Amino acid sequence: MSTPCEYTLAEKPCIDALVDMDYTWLPPSQNDRARDGQNQVILRDELIQAVQRINDVSEEVARGVYHELLAVTDNEQWTSILRGNYSRTVPGEDTKKTIIIIDLLHPENNTYTVTNQLYVKSQHPRKPDVVVYVNGIPLVVIEAKSPLSFKDKTGEAFDQIKQYEQDIPRLFYSNAFNIITDGVSLLFGATGASSEFWGAWRDPWPMKESDFQTSFDKGLYCLLEPSSLMDILAHFIVFEIDKTDNKIVKKICRYQQYRAVNKIVERVTEGKHRKGLIWHTQGSGKSLTMVFATLKLKNHLTIQTSALTSPNIMVLTDRKALDTQISDTFTACKLPNPKPIESIKELRQMVHSNTTGLTLISTIHKFAGSKTPVENSAECLARVAMVMPRSFILSSRS
């Protein structure tokens, strides 16, 4: 719960900025009635009406969807459902009908709501500062603190988010990510992420830095403007299996990965450029950039274009260690069946097998007949491109 100072400096500016982005403000005095009691977090009627409107189904079916969703307690399963992987029996239809909970392709078809001081009843009741909803589903929790030290990632705001996740877990079943802010600066992190993995959204691409007065305005817009939020939800969240303890770790893109992937997709869909270069610093997430790029090229849930129909994607690296790292990352993030390729001959066989939707991974020197990395990787890349003229080739160099 915010202090008067925190409300004035951080909480209210969040609400005002979101209202300017066409969110509807639900006052604290009304958010109890919008739910099935204080121990629930979904805005019942908002969800039911959205399901009816988007799917053209009866209120009875929409209420059935609502009650089924109340039973989903896994964040990865929720993410899959929100990406369109949900179906149920509908009266009058022989097969199960896919039910869209959030219209990722048409953001304008959704309802966007922000509420504050949402009291959630539990053994240890909590009242988060700001909660962002889409079609009645809570997607983002914002903790407003003043002042906020961004150098010390062990501060009160981080502790508060972790406390919420522990004490009122139902608010985070469907959560995409969380935000902390003091009304001037802003950091975001994936559900369950420790504070060391939180960061700022520094580049407002495709907007310009001059379009925003503060990093707070920039971060809030880049993360929560409806079309951006839909894109992040659809393509820039992955669940990776950590081999050390066999736990699933949720990861969200950084600003540079979001920018790079969308520029790749733009070039592919526009067809104006056949190649491009992305420069990464060490530790900036090359492997995940390729994962996010593959995820968006394959699924493209926010884009409707024939240019991305069942694409074949080739991922090339110039080091065996990097090849293993990327292959492991693809597998851990559950991207479908990454296939290692050993030679041009095998590549030709795969491409000419009339199979679509391939994800092929290899080191570039395998196509030069060498056991060590070659200097003229451009020549090798050209040879691969001749074999895969209608496919997308992502090449990573150390």
- The encoded tokens of residue 309 equal 């129909």
Give the residue from 310, 326, 311 showing the smallest Cα distance to 362.
326
51 close to 66: Cβ distance less than 8 angstroms:
yes
Is 289 part of a structural domain of the chain?
yes
Would you say residue 61 lies in a domain? yes
Average pLDDT, stretch 21-33?
96
Average pLDDT for 59-83: 97
Q: Do residues 259 and 201 both lie within one domain?
A: no
Taking all residues of the chain, what is their mean pLDDT, rounded to a whole number? 86
Domain end, chosen from 175, 204, 235, is at 235
Same domain, 257 and 228: no
Evaluate if residue 149 carries a pLDDT over 60. Answer: no
Q: Indicate the pTM of the whole model.
A: 0.90
CA distance 144 to 7: 7
Per DSSP, helices labelled H in the chain are 4-6, 12-20, 28-31, 44-55, 59-70, 75-82, 156-167, 215-224, 226-235, 255-270, 286-299, 320-332, 344-351, 377-387
Residues 230 and 278 in one domain: no
Do 265 and 231 share a domain, yes or no? Answer: no
Task: Name the band, by pLDDT with cuts 50, 70 and 90, for residue 356.
Answer: confident
Tell me, yes or no, whether 274 and 159 share the same domain.
no
CATH number at residue 304: 3.40.50.300
Q: Given this model, what pLDDT does residue 157 score?
A: 84
pLDDT at 125: 96
Pair (143, 223) in one structural domain: yes
DSSP assigned state of 10: I
Q: How confident is the model at residue 348 (pLDDT cuts 50, 70, 90)?
A: confident
Is residue 246 in a domain? no
Please tell me whether residues 78 and 208 are part of one structural domain: yes
Residues 146 and 77 occupy one common structural domain = yes
Residue 378 lies in a domain: yes
- Whole-number Cα distances in Å, 259 to 3, 103, 181, 204, 285: 36, 22, 23, 9, 13
pLDDT tens track for 202-251: 999 999 999 999 999 999 999 999 999 999 999 999 998 887 788 899 99
Q: Above 90 in pLDDT, residue 20?
A: yes
258 and 284 share a domain? yes
Q: Is the previous residue joined to 27 through a cis bond, with omega within 30 degrees of 0?
A: no
pLDDT higher than threshold 80 for residue 79:
yes
Instruction: Give the closest residue to 278 by CA, choosing from 294, 305, 251, 259.
Output: 259
Average pLDDT (172-189) is 95
Whether residues 94 and 221 fall in one domain: yes
Shared domain check, 169 and 65: yes
* Confidence label for 370 from pLDDT (cuts 50, 70 and 90): very low
Segments forming the whole domain that contains residue 83: 4-235
Query: What phi, psi does 131 have (nearest 5°)?
Result: -130, 130
186, 109, 107: which is closest to 144 by C-alpha?
186
Which tens digit of pLDDT belongs to each residue from 310-346?
888 888 776 665 666 677 777 767 776 678 887 778 8
- Report yes or no on 247 lying in a domain: no
The Cα 153–Cα 235 span in angstroms is 27
369 within a domain of the structure (yes/no): yes
Q: Judge contact between 164 and 172, C-beta under 8 A.
A: yes
For residue 1, name the pLDDT band (cuts at 50, 70, 90): low
pLDDT value at residue 372? 47
Which of 181, 207, 235 is where one domain is finished? Answer: 235
Closest to 360 (Cα-Cα) out of 350, 372, 368: 350
Q: How far apart are CA 343 and CA 369, in angstroms?
A: 8
147 shares its domain with 279: no
- Return the structure tokens found at 232: 């992040």
In a domain, 242, yes or no: no
207 alpha carbon, distance to own chain's centre? 19
pLDDT at 278 over 90: no
Last residue of a domain, which of 235, 265, 298? 235
In percent, the amount of the chain with pLDDT more than 90 equals 57
Does a structural domain hold residue 243?
Answer: no
Helices (H), 250-333: 255-270, 286-299, 320-332
Asked if 233 and 75 count as a contact pair (C-beta separation under 8 A), the reply is no
Domain count for the chain, please give it. Answer: 2
**Sign (positive/negative) of CA torsion 92, 95, 101, 103?**
negative
Residues facing residue 393 across a β-bridge? 314
Helix (H, G, I), strand (E, B) or coil at 3: coil
